[in-house]
């Protein structure tokens, strides 16, 4: 036999956890927590994804090679988001030189 055979009970436990977290995230959306709503929704989604990856996708019993592939995916996604957002959020930091503004207005006419 190849690969790790997981006990049936564990799969059912993980499944129960996933359903429970789905109920929780749905319930939390009906309570006004301000900015924390978004954070709670994403944190619960990360927990659910971790459960699936660790147990259903067997990462808990997989070799470092598989973990590397997942880590690489994470890191590149983080780069994608971080660099895009850093551009987006810092565009207003430096004022547009007044001479440029005049030029832009001229072109707009």
Site for other proteins in 71-90 (CB under 8 A): 72-74, 76-77, 80-81, 84-85, 88
Distant-in-sequence, close-in-space partners of 3: CB < 8 Å, separation ≥ 6: 58, 61
Q: Closest Cα partner for 50 from 62, 41, 59, 37?
A: 59
Q: Which is nearer to other proteins, 69 or 102 (CB)?
A: 69
User: Of 13-21, 90-98, 100-108, which segment contacts other proteins by CB under 8 A?
Assistant: 13-21
Q: Give the CA dihedral 97, 99, 102, 107, nearest 10 degrees.
A: -100
For other proteins, the closer CB: 84 or 103: 84
- Least distance to other proteins, CB of residue 38, Å: 5
The SS3 of residue 15 is helix
For tokens 């301000």, the residue is: 34
Q: How far separated are the first and last CA of the chain, in Å rounded?
A: 75
Judged by the rule CB under 8 A, the positions of this chain that interact with other proteins are: 1-3, 5-6, 8, 11-12, 15, 18-19, 22, 25-26, 28-32, 37-38, 41-42, 44-45, 48-49, 52-53, 55-57, 62-63, 65-66, 69-70, 72-74, 76-77, 80-81, 84-85, 88
């Amino acid at each position: 036999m190849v690969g790790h055979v997981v006990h049936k009970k564990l799969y059912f436990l993980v499944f129960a956890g996933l359903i429970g977290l789905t109920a929780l995230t749905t319930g939390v959306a009906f309570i006004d927590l301000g900015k924390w709503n978004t954070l709670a929704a994403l944190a619960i989604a990360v927990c659910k994804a971790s459960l699936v990856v660790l147990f259903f996708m067997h990462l808990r019993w997989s070799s470092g090679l598989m973990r590397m592939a997942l880590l690489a995916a994470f890191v590149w996604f983080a780069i994608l988001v971080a660099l895009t957002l850093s551009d987006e959020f810092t565009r207003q930091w430096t004022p547009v030189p007044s001479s440029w503004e005049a030029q832009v207005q001229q072109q707009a006419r």
